[in-house]
Amino acid sequence: MTTTPLNAVRYTAPILDWYAEHARDLPWRAPEATPWGILVSEIMLQQTPVARVLPVWREWMRRWPTPRALAAEPSGEAVRAWGRLGYPRRALRLHACAVTITERHGGRVPDSYAELRALPGVGAYTAAAVASFAYRQRHAVLDTNVRRVLARMITGVEYPPRSQTAAEVALAESLLPPDAPTAARWSVAVMELGALVCTARNPRCADCPVIGSCAWYRAGRPPHEGPPRRGQAYAGTDRQCRGRLLAVLREADGPVEKAALDVVWADPVQRERALDGLVADGLVDPLEDGRYALPS
């Protein structure tokens, strides 16, 4: 039987109590949320704030409430509905997931970590999150927020390593409550604490339920000693150019002429590079007549 170290309770209990009072009312956390809705939310929330995800998630679930409903449509419709969430390859992965779930799992999102991990584009984090949040299983769920909270609370450093380490996984597993449903709630609670209180910039330590046990706070909140952590640039990048090109295709009723793409980005070299990248990623189909379309 798996047990939780006795000293873990001084962290888990206050954070669980805090979550019970301060958790955001999000639709994918509602009792009626389906495993499919939770899987969709987890993929949409990768590198994207909740405020931007909410309207897209609601529309997505209205249109495709089940994996079977999405699998019945072309992958290009998933790209169109993705809108401006960014990183649109996630839309293709969700469509591929829907097809796999429909064909191999009878339309039901699998409940085992191994089967979830085998879905197209589903990594270790997403598999653990869906197994925990949809099926109330006991898994260490390590996203950016959780890693930051644990780094500060236990390790005493401002930020975790850039890449996840085995030591971080072992630490997260050591803090999991032994009861599976409680462990699942703990995973979302510590994630919420990182999103609302123990934020990357300007953490609100005075509002933290474990301020007295936080190693980083007790050490005087020492600053990060590694390389500067800069946000990703967007303006003028290939990523912005790709977004402009995809926007033309999303808003069109059908295939578009090359000229319609050329007018949205002035630099022809960068524009062609971005377009080639979209084609290579399967987000755009070049047609034999020279026009372009979302994938069919």
In this predicted model, what pLDDT tens digit does every residue of 202-255 receive, in sequence order? 999 999 999 999 999 999 999 988 776 666 678 899 999 999 999 999 999 999
Q: In this structure, are residues 70 and 95 in contact, taking their beta carbons and an 8 Å threshold?
A: yes
Q: How many angstroms separate the CA atoms of 107 and 99, rounded?
A: 9
pLDDT at 89 over 70: yes
Average confidence (pLDDT) over 90-105: 97
* Confidence grade of residue 2 (pLDDT, cut at 50, 70, 90): very low
pLDDT at position 232: 67
* Confidence grade of residue 276 (pLDDT, cut at 50, 70, 90): very high
pLDDT at position 171: 95
Q: How many angstroms separate the CA atoms of 266 and 173, rounded?
A: 51
Catalytic residue among 32, 42, 225, 288: 42
Question: What confidence tens digit (pLDDT) does each residue in 143-189 have?
Answer: 999 999 999 999 999 999 999 999 999 999 999 999 999 999 999 99
* Confidence grade of residue 137 (pLDDT, cut at 50, 70, 90): very high
Segment 39-46 long-range contacts (CB within 8 Å, at least 24 positions apart)? 39/94, 39/97, 39/109, 39/126, 39/130, 39/134, 40/94, 42/126, 42/129, 42/130, 42/133, 43/90, 43/93, 43/94, 43/97, 43/121, 43/126, 44/85, 44/90, 46/87, 46/90, 46/126
Provide, rounded to the nearest whole percent, the portion of the chain with pLDDT above 70. 96
pLDDT at 292 over 70: yes
pTM for the structure as a whole: 0.90
Q: How many angstroms separate the CA atoms of 222 and 220, rounded?
A: 6
pLDDT at position 233: 79
Average confidence (pLDDT) over 50-69: 97
pLDDT at position 229: 64
Active-site residue flag, 158:
no
Question: Can you count the helices (H) and strands (E) in the chain?
Answer: 15, 2
pLDDT at 1 over 50: no
Ranges of H-type helices in 151-267: 166-175, 180-196, 215-218, 238-251, 258-262
Q: Which residue has the higher pLDDT, 230 or 81?
A: 81
List residues bridging with 285 in a β-sheet: 293
pLDDT at position 274: 93
pLDDT at position 121: 87
pLDDT at position 225: 83
Mean of all residue pLDDT scores within the chain: 94
pLDDT at 126 over 80: yes
Q: How many angstroms separate the CA atoms of 246 and 241, rounded?
A: 9
pLDDT at position 231: 63
